[in-house]
Amino acid sequence: MSDGFVGLDAVVEDPADVARFAEVVERLRPRCEALIAQYEESRSAMLPILHVFQEAEGWVSPAAQRACAEILALPLSVVESTASFYTLFFREPVGKYMLQPCRGLACIIGGAEEAMAHFRERLGLGQLQTTDDGLFSYEEVECLAACDRAPCMQVNLEFVYDLTNEKIDAMLAEMRAGTYAVAPAVQTSQPGKTWSVKQDTEKKSAGAQDVSSPNDPGGIGDRTGLEMLRRIESDPFPVEVRPTRERLVVDGAALLSGPIVVSNGEVEH
């Protein structure tokens, strides 16, 4: 692991925020190292470490993802792809109270539709939205596996069972008054109207288009993988690949300080 956090200025513009987050990283580093020590492979600690940063910041910011990559000595693209896969990692700021009523079958039968409509009416929110004051974020989620106490929900991942409109009203009142049993989450950045992240608009792979066998576009039977393996076995660097901007390829080579030689002879570092 590196002794210092580098590259923060690439994702944080305000120098004061750079200094503040650097302090956060150093404060959390012992916890991260303790998590890493629990696993044979350090990258197995990625999810717990991301949770540590989200607990401290209220969301998994680009700076937090970069810090996680630095601590684990992984390509940033690996951390980004992991954080974007799991819905419990918020890549945009969210409210202090994340309200997640269940819309699974048992809850729907038990009255969840009425409860969700009541939430939306009381909060003035739709799916994946946050109140203007930043206090509440709202998301209707799939089965929470508490079917015997339906309809149910989670508040900052803590279960609430047997929802009624009266229970919802009392809950929201206590949250606004600061007396609710579940503590509000840390909030270091003001959330916007939604924390939904737009899909990457970069050009995607054509997949199985224009290949001899649509069932075999680079998988079983495609010998390019074997050729790549032979080259890696004989000489890990340089690795010859087609021209690419694929983050995992570029970031991985940069991490290992090895060049990528593309087929037209140009070298990308």
Is residue 6 predicted with pLDDT exceeding 90?
no
Is residue 33 predicted with pLDDT exceeding 70?
yes
DSSP state of 265: S
Contact (Cβ atoms closer than 8 angstroms) between residue 190 and residue 134: yes
Beta strands in the chain (DSSP E): 97-101, 129-130, 136-138, 153-155, 158-160, 239-241, 260-262, 267-268
Task: Report pLDDT digits (tens) over 223-268.
Answer: 655 666 676 667 655 555 555 566 666 666 566 555 545 445 454 4
Q: What pLDDT was estimated at residue 160?
A: 98
| Percentage of the chain lying above the pLDDT 70 cut | 69
Cα distance between residue 47 and residue 255, in whole Å: 20
Give the CA angle between residues 99, 48, 33 to the nearest 5°: 145
With a CB cutoff of 8 Å and minimum separation 6, the contacts of 228 are 239, 241
Q: What pLDDT was estimated at residue 49?
A: 98
Q: What pLDDT was estimated at residue 214?
A: 45
